[in-house]
């Protein structure tokens, strides 16, 4: 999230899913060896942010994400021209992923253990399916902002990691729009300062 509260820049599109300037929010992660490894890239650094990413990846049994994080507008989901979202043939999840959408679609089974299941009824159902699929491990809420807002307002978020990037985007998609005037039971429990990012961990007491 930028210092002014945005998790994506303006003019998000299929060609630029993070919006103008949105990539600046992820540069700290792209610089890390642990992130590059997960995306099958060489090189990268080890710094204070490494253990935050390690924690966020450990013990995850399933992921829930919104439609935009899966792959943008539903026009891409034409069954005659299959679309695997942004994620290619071997997505970096390697576990079951549940996508919130209004458009029904059969599950997508990809290489490396990633499956995308499309949930059309409600966020509670997606979470329940993800919990069962995670078999005792944690469920990660991938994003984007709208999915995070819905789960926050419903009080269904047990832990939240904000990686705050010291820059402004000025416009775009705000993480906390419509969430109200409290954190729905979450409290700040840990702060880690990395290079050009501050990681704020929230949890229910």
- Enumerate binding residues for a copy of itself (CB under 8 A): 3-5, 9, 20-21, 162, 164, 166-171, 174-176, 179-183, 187-188, 191, 193, 196, 198, 200, 202
Which of 110/160 has CB closer to a copy of itself? 160
List 116's β-bridge partners, or say none: 97, 108
When the beta carbons of 104 and 182 are compared against a copy of itself, the nearer one is 182
**Nearer to a copy of itself by C-beta: 9 or 85?**
9
Name the residue nearer to a copy of itself (CB basis): 109 or 193.
Answer: 193
Smallest gap from residue 152 Cβ to a copy of itself (A): 9
Q: Cβ neighbours of residue 81 under 8 Å, at least 6 residues apart? A: none
- Residue 109, Cβ density class (10 Å: 0-12 exposed, 13-18 middle, ≥19 buried): exposed
Minimum distance from residue 51 beta carbon to a copy of itself (Å): 15
State in angstroms the smallest separation of the CB of 21 from a copy of itself.
6
**Burial per residue of 5-27, b for 16 or more beta-carbon CB atoms within 10 angstroms, e otherwise:** bbbbbeebeeeebbbbbbebbee
CB of residue 10 vs a copy of itself: minimum separation in angstroms? Answer: 9
Cis check: omega of the bond before 144, within 30 degrees of 0? yes
| CA–CA separation, 92 and 160 (whole Å) | 21
């Amino acid at each position: 999230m930028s210092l002014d509260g945005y998790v994506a820049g303006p003019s998000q599109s299929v060609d630029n899913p993070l919006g103008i300037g949105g990539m600046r929010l992820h540069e700290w992660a792209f610089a890390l060896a642990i992130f590059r490894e997960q995306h099958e890239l060489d090189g990268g650094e080890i710094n204070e942010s490494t253990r935050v990413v390690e924690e966020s990846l450990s013990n995850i049994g399933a992921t829930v994400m919104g439609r935009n994080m899966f792959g943008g507008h539903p026009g891409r989901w034409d069954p005659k021209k299959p679309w695997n979202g942004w994620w290619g043939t071997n997505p970096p999840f390697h576990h079951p992923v549940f996508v919130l959408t209004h458009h029904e679609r059969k599950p997508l089974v990809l290489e490396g253990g990633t499956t995308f299941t499309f949930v059309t009824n409600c966020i509670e159902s997606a979470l329940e399916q993800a919990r069962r699929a995670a078999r005792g491990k944690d469920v990660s809420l991938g994003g984007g902002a709208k999915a995070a807002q819905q789960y926050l307002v419903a009080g269904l978020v047990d832990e939240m990691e904000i990686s705050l990037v010291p820059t402004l985007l000025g416009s775009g998609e705000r993480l906390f729009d419509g969430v109200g005037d409290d954190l729905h039971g979450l409290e700040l429990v840990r702060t880690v300062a990395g290079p050009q990012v501050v990681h704020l961990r929230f949890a229910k007491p």
